[in-house]
Structure 1
Amino acid sequence: MQYEATSPEDYINQLSEERKAPIEKLRKTIKDNLPKGFEEGIGYGMLAYFVPHSLYPDGYHCTPELPLPFINIASQKNFIALYHSGLYAKPELHDWFVNEYPKHCKYKLDKGKSCVRFKKFDDIPYSLIAELTTKIPVEEWITIYETNIKKK
């Protein structure tokens, strides 16, 4: 689902009542644990956490006028999605997350390359997402992006 939001608050205000609380809690979890240097905004119609142009002027290779994406949260039709680019780009982070997930959630992991889908809003593993958010500092994310993704 695409929202026409101009700010994170605007995005949240457009959500149904059942989705506001889990999205707000995910947002707070990420903001409270996001390494220094990343910023929050709207990207691709979702809540976005990214490397600003002031730290990485090249921006995202697909759309250089946009900042380098890192984490996104979206309210999709049948689930809430957490997109974490590091899960796709850093195999050891992916493996850690997959191994830790069952310790934090009673439901099977529903995951794509960088997307984790939550269909049961009352069982989102916020403490695991908090820890995941801390795992890649901004400088490391830029290096991973330049060596593993930008060249492809």
Structure 2
Amino acid sequence: MQYEAKTPEEYMELLDDDWRKEKLLMVRQFILKNAPELEEGIQYKMLCYGNDSSKLFHLNAQKSYVSLYVGAIEKIENAKGLLSGLDYGKGCVRIKRSVNLHDSGIKDFVQKAVDRWRADADTSC
């Protein structure tokens, strides 16, 4: 889904108050807690996290899941193990309603991606 928001605050206001908002806010907290230096903004009609020169994450509420885009997932150390039980593709983790984020490896995956970004290592496709 696309949201016509200009700021992260507007984006949050446009979200339906349902399980997708709950999951998106949890992933958002994982990002903000692990990387307070990342600037939160809007790019491609979704939340984005990075700086002026590069973006590390994009986060969006879709119709049936919450998507976390990270470029190339295989560049993140132990990505397959951390994302076990989650639906993911080349660059997107799809978080469905039934997923318990606290029992998943998504928090550690976010931390590994942040560590790689901090080390100036490429995470792009």
- Shared topology, TM-score over 0.5? yes
Aligned partner of 1:70 in structure 2 is 56
Q: CA deviation at 1:32?
A: 0.4
1:1-152 equivalent positions in 2, closer than 5 A? 1-18=1-18, 19-34=20-35, 36=37, 38-52=38-52, 56=53, 68-88=54-74, 90=75, 93=76, 96-102=78-84, 108-120=85-97, 122-125=99-102, 128-135=105-112, 136-141=115-120, 143-144=121-122
Aligned partner of 1:64 in structure 2 is none
CA distance in 2 between partners of 1:86 and 1:34 (Å)? 19
Identity over aligned residues, as a percent?
32
More strand by percentage: 2
Q: Which portions of structure 1, spanning 4 or more consecutive aligned residues, are displaced by more than 6 angstroms?
A: none
CA distance in 2 between partners of 1:140 and 1:31 (Å)? 18
* Bigger Cα Rg: 1
Number of residue pairs aligned between Structure 1 and Structure 2: 122
Instruction: Report the CA distance shift for 1:99/1:122 in structure 2 as closer, same or farther (over 3 A).
Output: closer
Question: Structure 2 stretches of 5 or more lacking a match?
Answer: none
More helix by percentage: 1
CA distance in 2 between partners of 1:98 and 1:140 (Å)? 21
Q: CA deviation at 1:99?
A: 1.2
Cα RMSD (Å): 2.5
Question: Structure 1 stretches of 5 or more lacking a match?
Answer: 57-67, 103-107
SS at match of 1:116: strand
Structure 1-normalised TM-score? 0.67
